[in-house]
Structure 1
């Protein structure tokens, strides 16, 4: 049974959502603030955390940052803050889904089930097996290459574990791996991630890249080959194949 934690300081909403999700056959716990969430996670991990932003002791953005640093739980931000900047910040900090109140509980249920399906598929997908000669199914090329999985939203180094990606991380890397070695402008990255022109005074793209580099290196042991191109943007400078190419080579 999937474990869900609802972090919401509005008592009636929290209780109603916990009750609804319990009827959906989830193992559901409720918390009113970040410190309560920490105690619940000490008692047992969660598969999905439904997280409000406006909490009494710590804002949900800070909580999401802490969760991403120590947990593989999926995060659904459920908040009344509908501004584009809030959405961008939430997704950049690791939220998988951003929902704006008021929201139908059925949509929350559907998003949880979709995240759980994706997580289950990722867990069930084996790493590329070696052949008797020690070669991976994709041959010498795939052994040297990063694999960008655009189905399960993961990036896997030539050696080491695959790293799951948030929606924002996936969109960012998908731009870069389309043409490895070719820089993608900050303008194009900003439009793809936010739908808005790039603000030269914003450091959000750089912050995203910094967090992604740390995440990949910590989880896989390999440095992500994404480099800044002065005056332009960013480029993926390693050899990379898509999951579709990898699957075709294996077949």
Structure 2
């Protein structure tokens, strides 16, 4: 039981909590449930949770607030549940640091697939890093710590990254000075194809620029290539020291 992946479902709808818990438990996970932010924190304090499924609309603190607070404290993966037909909710969820989103109503098997995808991305080692024992990637005045999964500035300041931000930055660092379009970035970071209205990559790039102090109007690191995509314009070196 201790080796099972542990999922926390936070939703104020008892029927949804029960349905998802039964389905996920029946497919190899151990599932905890909570109906609000207070109960969510109790479960997190008492258990090792691997991923949180978080509803946007909750009594008291809403899902956006809870996601933002979670992201400020940890890189615990979060999948946000949003209302269908509300793209702004999905955008806000990504801005708060959610790793993925799913619109209601949905099939439990679709959530199961999203959970597996997020966990696979979160737990995956960077390509070829296992053999080279790389610990960090250096670029400009920054270091991406591959073990702690955060940024370090030249003065030692640590900058926290969400799981999605970490994966996106790592992709750029693995492909420096190469233009990557939105579809490529979404496939390499989230394992799915983009739809015409999917702006998640743009949102994550905006957040990364803010954390890198890279002026969005005249960025020096992550540059926009008109009608093509984005490029990390800097030299990258790998640090394999322990």
TM-score range, shorter chain: 0.5 to 0.7
CA distance in 2, matches of 1:127, 1:34: 42
CA distance in 2, matches of 1:179, 1:122: 22
2:199 aligns with one of 194, 213, 219: 194
Equivalent in the alignment of 2:74:
71
The 3 A distance-change label for structure 1 pair 156 and 55 is closer
2:221 aligns with one of 220, 236, 249: 236
1:111 aligns with one of 94, 114, 138: 114
**How big is the shift at 1:51?**
0.5
- CA contact 2:79–2:98 (8 Å) conserved in 1: yes
**How big is the shift at 1:227?**
2.4
- The CA RMSD measured in Å over matched residues stands at 4.7
The 3 A distance-change label for structure 1 pair 192 and 233 is farther
Is 2:52 aligned against 1:53?
no
The 3 A distance-change label for structure 1 pair 143 and 228 is closer
CA distance in 1, matches of 2:153, 2:165: 23
Which runs of 5 or more residues in structure 2 are unaligned?
A: 179-195, 223-231
CA distance in 1, matches of 2:136, 2:75: 28
- Structure ID, larger Rg: 1
- The normalised TM-score by structure 2 is 0.64
Determine helix, strand or coil for the equivalent of 2:220: strand
For residues 89-119 of structure 1, give each alpha carbon's deviation from its aligned partner in whole angstroms, at most 9, with x where no partner exists: 1011111111000111111111111122122
- CA contact 1:75–1:95 (8 Å) conserved in 2: yes
1:16 aligns with one of 2, 14, 19: 19
- CA contact 1:77–1:90 (8 Å) conserved in 2: yes
The 3 A distance-change label for structure 1 pair 165 and 54 is closer
**How many residue pairs align between the two structures?**
204
CA distance in 2, matches of 1:119, 1:173: 12
Larger % of helix: which? 1
CA distance in 1, matches of 2:34, 2:144: 36
For residues 190-237 of structure 1, give each alpha carbon's deviation from its aligned partner in whole angstroms, at most 9, with x where no partner exists: x99738xx9xxxxx8998358x62xxxxxxxxxx3x4216xx243318
Which runs of 5 or more residues in structure 1 are unaligned?
A: 131-135, 181-190, 199-203, 214-223, 247-251
